[in-house]
Amino acid sequence: MLNWAYRFNIFCFLDNRQYAFSEPAFECMLAAGSEKQIEMNAGTAFDALKRFQAANPKDWLFGHLGYDLKNEMEKLHSGHPDGTGFADLCFFIPEILVQLSHSSVTITGNTDPKAVFSDILSCPDSIKKTKETRVAIQSRIPKKEYIDTIQTLRNHILRGDCYEINFCQEFFSEDAELDPLYVYHRLAEASPNPFSAFYRTGQRFCLCASPERYLKKTGNRIFSQPIKGTSKRHLQDPLKDEAQKKYLQESHKEKSENVMVVDLVRNDLSRVCRAGTVRVDELFGLYSFPQVHQMISTVSGELEEGVDWVDCIKTTFPMGSMTGAPKVKVMELIEKYESSRRGLFSGAIGYIKPGGAAGPATENPVTEPVDFDFNVVIRTLLFNAHDKYLSFQTGGAITFYSDPEKEYEECLLKGAVINSILK
């Protein structure tokens, strides 16, 4: 299916990698080709998205929200370089939508589904490398500068400017060569995660192995599942692996990071939900992934009557796990101390589903609620094939108790799989 999709200038593949959580992971879907499309930078992007969806109420939308949409909601700016070049917002109505379950394949769109199915089956059933990977990874922030910056951020916390901040650094390569489909396939195999995505818009590719959900809406319920708290896996040594898991369960630092972002998400959701309905469904949940153990919490609420689906996103974006608290102040500090524009990194990829429908051809009334599901774009490789620029960013939550050396090591741990695949 991915070999078939690669011919399209725009597509979005979302894959749950068969994770079965109590709150389901992504559905497994491929949206390919574009009947209509909206692509904008921050300014009036959310209003334009609202109008675009209202004009096409029976269609699915797939696409992304870039981190720098923050500039539209707050009086902020982004002055750092961005070599990947994704627009701040892009959504498209797919020509063809393929939905996979354990027992069926559903193909919809303005097309003959049997012909599409036959076309897909005629493609190779394995992914072969079409060109050699050639990259020279550089760090945008030298280690000493990173450690000094963490100390400076701790001083901001000590002064009361903020109490948690997500600080990230970029690793990049210029004049890079790689086969995006092959590298995504290797990334997904090495690091299967429940909110994975392979996304193309023109000559820009996003290879995403995300473990984190940003926000999902089903009917009048919305919920978010922020991740804060990380420890390394030791798959070859079960005793060591269990010790790392126990460390995460008992660590005051990791739990304080998690509860801070939970409070922030609760506050965000309370601005669009009915009073008394926002609750923490799960606090400090421990989940194991191929490379790391993660601490994940789930926060949900019931929407106030009349709240528009776009307002759910505007009120909660960017997600608290990738900013910190208080949100506006830490976004100012992020701009001051980071060295790269985040762009699509720490934004979101996902879909908007028409009126609780089973597919784009629904006859359900337009007044039924619009549902959506978005991931957090982390553990992600971004590649601009036109400019041959490759980028991935890693980071973590900084609190007063953060150890700069350990924070740097955590950044390397989060980027280790991408690094190993590129090598």
Per-residue pLDDT of the chain (423 residues; tens, 9 = 90+): 999 999 999 999 999 988 876 666 788 999 999 989 999 999 999 999 999 999 999 999 999 999 999 999 888 999 999 999 999 999 999 999 999 988 899 999 989 999 999 999 999 999 999 999 999 999 999 999 999 999 999 999 999 999 999 999 999 999 999 999 999 999 999 999 999 999 999 999 999 999 999 999 999 999 999 999 889 999 899 999 999 999 999 998 899 989 999 999 999 999 999 999 999 999 999 999 888 899 999 999 999 999 999 999 999 999 999 999 999 999 999 999 999 999 999 999 999 999 744 444 444 444 567 999 999 999 999 999 999 999 999 999 999 999 999 999 999 999 999 999 998
Strand-pair category, 195-201 with 10-15: antiparallel
Residue 184 falls within a domain, yes or no? yes
Write the burial class of residue 103 (CB in 10 Å: 0-12 exposed, 13-18 middle, 19+ buried). Answer: exposed
Rounded CA separation 313/64 (Å): 12
For residue 413, the enclosing domain spans 2-127+137-422
Task: Name the residue among 418, 263, 295 with its Cα closest to residue 345.
Answer: 418
| pLDDT for residue 357 | 45
Report whether 298 contacts 282 (CB < 8 A): yes
Return the axis-axis angle of helices 45-55 and 309-316, rounded to nearest 10°: 160
Residue 241 falls within a domain, yes or no? yes
| pLDDT for residue 72 | 95
Write the burial class of residue 121 (CB in 10 Å: 0-12 exposed, 13-18 middle, 19+ buried). Answer: exposed
Task: For residue 161, give both structure tokens.
Answer: 């400017």
Report whether 200 contacts 349 (CB < 8 A): no
Residue 87 falls within a domain, yes or no? yes
Residue 93 falls within a domain, yes or no? yes
Residue 327 falls within a domain, yes or no? yes
| pLDDT for residue 404 | 95
Residue 132 falls within a domain, yes or no? no
| pLDDT for residue 363 | 46
Report whether 201 contacts 86 (CB < 8 A): yes
Rounded CA separation 192/198 (Å): 13
Residue 17 falls within a domain, yes or no? yes
| pLDDT for residue 367 | 52
Domain count for the chain: 1
Task: Write the CATH number for 209.
Answer: 3.60.120.10
Q: How many CA atoms lie within 13 A of 160 on its CB side?
A: 0
| pLDDT for residue 369 | 75
Residue 74 falls within a domain, yes or no? yes
